[in-house]
Amino acid sequence: MGTSDTARSLRWRLVDRAWAQFPGAMVGLRNLVDGDSRQGEPIVEPARADVIGPLNRLQRFHAFLYSLRPEDAALLLKSTNDRKTIRQHYADKYLAGAGVELGAQNCPLVSTHATKMEYVDVHTNEYLINYFHLPAHELVPLDHVGDSSDLSKYADGSKDFLIANHVLEHMHDPIAAIKEWSRILRPNGTMLLTVPNYRGNEYDFAGTPTTIEHLIEDHEHHAGPSDARNRLHYEEFVAAAEIARSHPSFHDRVNELIAADDRIHFHAYTSKLLELLVEAASERSTYRLKLIDKFAHMFCYEFLVVLRKS
């Protein structure tokens, strides 16, 4: 094996080591690469083309990781493992005073300079325990239960900061959501947002990133859970992450998710789309948001922005 082949193999061993620490990794995935050969023991039966399902979806994501350059795959896995540390760095640097976090559930982000925190979620903690099987003792106590796009319980300019980690992708109309979140911030208040990189999660990697034109149309047409336009979101999600359009159960699954108002990934984000979304929301609001810091890379797990209200 030549020097270049040895270096390539060592890089892939780094990826395997990172993957072994990746939350939710399937036991048995150990692809040790020599040269350009990427052969490993399959972790499940070969994926059916018509039904993806959780196991097959994860298998497809594994295959996608191993199609990347080792450096890119290692960065994606490393940034996944370190996401809480990265978020904490920006929270401690920019967030102080009285704040509210949306959708914190069992992963709250608390700045060391926060004087008071409140928590809002669309679901009750009982629902999170029973439906998602989240550990009860780790869930934050909720101050309000309701859709994060409606914070009418909070007065204008009543909060110093707002946190929303992996909330925007679950919003039918993210422009309206950011406008509402801006409303409750005081002048010079701060917003910390993260969204999953569409390349970095098993639900979005096989799909196409959303465009800013799409988000603007969603806002102008006020797409809601039962809106005909919003049905397209569900169809795109099911086709990419669950069942092929040609499968007999495809429309039944779409209808099931719509009836449950399931908070799927309605949109798939790039770093640029997140910044364009903030600009679009500011242009359609009486409040202006300025991007003051960000964490973004083509192959990081999530994109993070810190915004200042002016």
Residue 18 has pLDDT above 90, yes or no: no
C-beta separation of 44 from 186 below 8 A: no
Distances (CA, A) of 168 to 9, 37, 310: 38, 39, 21
Q: What are the pLDDT digits (tens) for 127-162?
A: 999 988 999 999 999 999 999 999 999 999 999 999
Give the pLDDT score at 52. 56
H/E stretch holding 305 reads strand 302-309
What homologous superfamily is domain 94-310 in, according to CATH? Answer: Vaccinia Virus protein VP39 (3.40.50.150)
pTM to 2 decimal places: 0.83
Q: Which residues pair with 98 in a beta bridge?
A: 116
Q: What are the pLDDT digits (tens) for 199-243?
A: 999 899 988 899 999 999 999 986 555 577 789 999 999 988 888
User: Which strands form 289-295's sheet, in the order they lie side by side?
Assistant: 144-145, 114-121, 97-102, 159-165, 185-196, 302-309, 289-295
Q: Which residue has the tokens 């569900």?
A: 234
Tokens of residue 168, six digits: 């925007």
Give the domain ranges of the chain. 3-81, 94-310
Average pLDDT, the chain: 84
Q: What are the pLDDT digits (tens) for 153-201?
A: 999 999 999 999 999 999 999 999 999 999 999 999 999 999 999 999 9
Can you tell me the distance from the alpha carbon of 69 to that of 77, in angstroms, rounded to the nearest whole number?
13
Q: How confident is the model at residue 302 (pLDDT cuts 50, 70, 90)?
A: very high
